[in-house]
Structure formats: structure tokens, C-alpha cells
Amino acid sequence: MTDLNPARILGIESSCDETAAAIIENGSNLLAGSVATQIDLHKKYGGVFPEVASRQHILSIYPIIEETLQKAHLSWDEIDAIAVTRGPGLAGSLVVGMNAAKGIALARNLPLVGVNHLEGHIYSSWIRPDAADRFTPPKFPVMALLVSGGHTELNLMKGHLNYQRLGATLDDAAGEAFDKVARLIGLPYPGGPSIETAAIEGNPSAFNFPRARLEGGWDFSFSGLKTAVLRTVKQLEADAVEFPVADLAASFQEAVVDALYTKTIAAAKEFGVREIVVAGGVSANKALRAAFMGQGDFPVHIPPLYHCTDNAAMIAAAGYYRFAHGHIDSLDVDVLPTWPLR
Ligand code: KG4
Ligand code: ZN
């Protein structure tokens, strides 16, 4: 529950390869959501092809928004504000969502709320999951681990919209490391789910890959790990040995999970938080979820799988808190956000 004013927010997300819309009531209740994924379009390129992504967003954006309103059985008069991803993301993709949001805001005379994509991921833990009969949102102060394709960060949140960035990756993001290592060991895009599946049959102790501890701070680094996998792969090739793909995947995954988990728990203790939030595409990883759920020191919030990767419900949820706190943007808002947004 929240003591803020009630409101229904329509969220729009188009920062990468998903075109999505969703309607959230009071920052928590998901009334409807639709996602058009482009994964199959980009698979043959081994990653997201930006121009193809923008064009597909143009085709999908209005049908997805209309479908969402219909699913919720709502008319525009019953929507209080439009929230839209400002970035970070692919510029050409962001512009499609932003222009759709601006057009609707202008035509329907609705307030426009720009949401940082990373903030959106964090707020996915404030959405009541479909299957939950009991749901309590995270209690501040919160330690938020954000692990996506482009970012890996630890943020201390002392209240809504209040972020103190304690640390971030010095090189590759966790998701990026999954994607690059998947390619190295011959697994398809997107790398995270491919590695997770391959790792099921593998031995996580088969290879002793490094964990960059970076003592004395809260930053992360994954490039050394990626290079260690590359070196191992080259050695296996030189020895003409068949790739133990499952073992490589499991050992790599174990090293990433260990680095993320260990630092987050240490930061949570150091800063005396009440609860932990884990968010972003990599939070879909079952080994990472198991590590956090297996400890008893802190209550941990990780969204259901369908809200870990990109979606618009998270944008609508964060948009609600922005709207309810009076953060409304003008129609000339850009798609070049700073983080955290003020
Ligand atoms: O948050 P997200 O959907 O998009 C960005 O904001 O970047 O995250 C995408 C990233 C990709 O790098 C993808 O490989 C990774 O999340 N990912 C996973 C899993 N599912 C998605 N990584 C590990 N295990 C997964 N199950
Ligand atoms: Zn994302």
C-alpha cells in the first residue's frame, strides 16, 4: 500500500529489442501488459541490429498500446499519465517510444513522465506478482543490485527515487559478459538464457575462473573473467579437445554469481539496509536467484521472470512514483538521460 495519490499509468518501453506497453495502478497493480519481442529477428545477427530494431518498434508501438488498453478494458479517459523510457538504450529505438508517448500526451492532454530504464528495472520489485496472494513491497533502506545487458550497479536507496550509486562495473556489464562468453563457447544469442540452459548439465567447479574482488570498494569487473574463458577456449582449440560447453557455461556462471552475490551481501551489511532488491535481465538467472534466496540475512525481492527482462510494467511502476512525487516532464524531454534522474 502507498499513501500517495492513486493513479493509473500507461508505461511504454522501446529501449532495445522489445516493444512494450503496460498499465499499472498505484505503482503496484498490473492491469494489463503486452510485449512484442524481436529476439527472432536479431538472432541471425548474433545481437541486436539497431536499425532493424527501430523499424520494428515503429510497426509494433501503436498496436501494442491499443492492445494493452483493450486488455485492461480501459479508455484513454481512465489513464492519468503516460510514462516512457528516456534511456539508456538504443537512440533510434528510444525515439520511437518517446515520440509515441509525446503524441499521446499532446493529443489526450495527459502528463508525460520520463523514466530512466535502470530505475524501471529496480521498480519491477514494487509490482505485485500475478500469483501473489500476499505481497509486501521492499522496505527502505534497500540495497539494489541492478544487472542488465548494459549495466551492473549497486545502488543504496533510502527512499523512493533516492539513489546513491555505490559502485558499478569497471568494464563489461554482467549481461554483456554472459552474451560475449556465450558467443565464445558457441551458444546462441541472447547469451544469458543459453548459458543458463547449457550450465544445467555442467560442473561449476570444472574450471576455476577468476572472481575480481576489487577489495575496498563496491565496483565490479568482468573482463578478466571473460579473458580467462577466452584463454581456456583457445587452449582447448590448440589441444584439439572437444569443448566441454556445459562445464564452461556452469563454471563461468558460478564465477559471475559469486562475484555479484558476495559484493551485494557485503554492501547490504556495511550500509545496514533492511532489504535487498535484485533487478535487470540477469536477475532471471536461476543460479543467481538461488544464491540470494538461499541466504537468511536479508529479505530479497527478485521479480518474477517475466518482469526481469525488459517490459513496460516496470516503466509504469517507476512512472507512478515519479508522477505521484510531482516529477512531470515537458514535451521537449529528450532521450539522453542522466542517472540517477533528479
Ligand atoms: O534488462 P535486460 O532485458 O535488457 C537491458 O536493459 O540490457 O537485460 C538483458 C541481458 C542480456 O545480456 C541477457 O543475456 C541477460 O540479460 N539475461 C540473462 C538471463 N536472461 C537474460 N543472463 C543470465 N541468465 C539469464 N537467465
Ligand atoms: Zn533492461
196 lines ligand 1 (CB under 6 A): yes
**31 vs 130, more confident:** 31
CB 244 within 8 A of CB 202: yes
Q: Using one digit for the tens of pLDDT, what is the confidence trace for 321-342?
A: 999 999 999 999 999 877 765 4
A 10 A CB-CB count for 132 gives: 10
pLDDT given for residue 134 in this prediction: 85
Contacts for 335 with CB less than 8 Å, ≥ 6 apart: 86, 87, 89, 91, 94, 95, 98
Domain limits, the chain: 8-129+307-324, 142-302
Question: Which ligand is closest to the CA of 289, given by its number?
Answer: 1
pLDDT given for residue 342 in this prediction: 44
Cell of residue 82, nine digits: 503516460
Q: Which atom of ligand 1 is the closest one to the Cα of 15?
A: 6
Cell of residue 243, nine digits: 569443448
pLDDT given for residue 156 in this prediction: 97
CA distances from 104 to 9, 19, 29, 35, 151 (A): 13, 16, 22, 19, 30
Question: Which ligand is closest to the CA of 191, given by its number?
Answer: 1
Q: Closest Cα to residue 171, out of 220, 117, 211, 210?
A: 220
88 lines ligand 1 (CB under 6 A): no
Distance CA(27)–CA(9), nearest Å, equals 8
A 10 A CB-CB count for 83 gives: 31
Buried b (16+ CB within 10 A) or exposed e, 182-215: bebbebebbbbbbbbebbeebebeebebebbeee
Place of cell 542488465: 148
Angle between helices 286-293 and 245-270 (to 10 degrees): 40
The fraction of the chain above a pLDDT of 90, given in percent, is: 88
Residues by chain with Cβ below 5 Å of ion ligand 2: 148, 310
A 10 A CB-CB count for 73 gives: 9
Q: In this model, does residue 8 exceed pLDDT 50? A: yes
165-178 average pLDDT score: 96
> Strands 81-87 and 152-159, how do they pair?
unpaired
202 lines ligand 1 (CB under 6 A): no
Q: What are residue 82's DSSP bridge partners?
A: 10, 112
Distance CA(13)–CA(82), nearest Å, equals 11
Contacts for 234 with CB less than 8 Å, ≥ 6 apart: none
CATH of 8-129+307-324, one of 1.10.3720.10, 3.30.420.40, 3.40.50.1010, 1.10.10.60: 3.30.420.40
284-292 average pLDDT score: 98
125-138 average pLDDT score: 89
Q: In this model, does residue 138 exceed pLDDT 50? A: yes
**Cα-flanking dihedrals φ and ψ of residue 327, to 5°?**
-90, 90
Q: Using one digit for the tens of pLDDT, what is the confidence trace for 230-246?
A: 999 999 999 998 889 99
pLDDT given for residue 133 in this prediction: 75
309 lines ligand 1 (CB under 6 A): yes
280 lines ligand 1 (CB under 6 A): yes
Asked whether the domain spanning 142-302 has the same topology as the one spanning 8-129+307-324, the reply is yes
142-302 CATH fold: Nucleotidyltransferase; domain 5 (3.30.420)
24 in helix, strand or coil?
Answer: strand
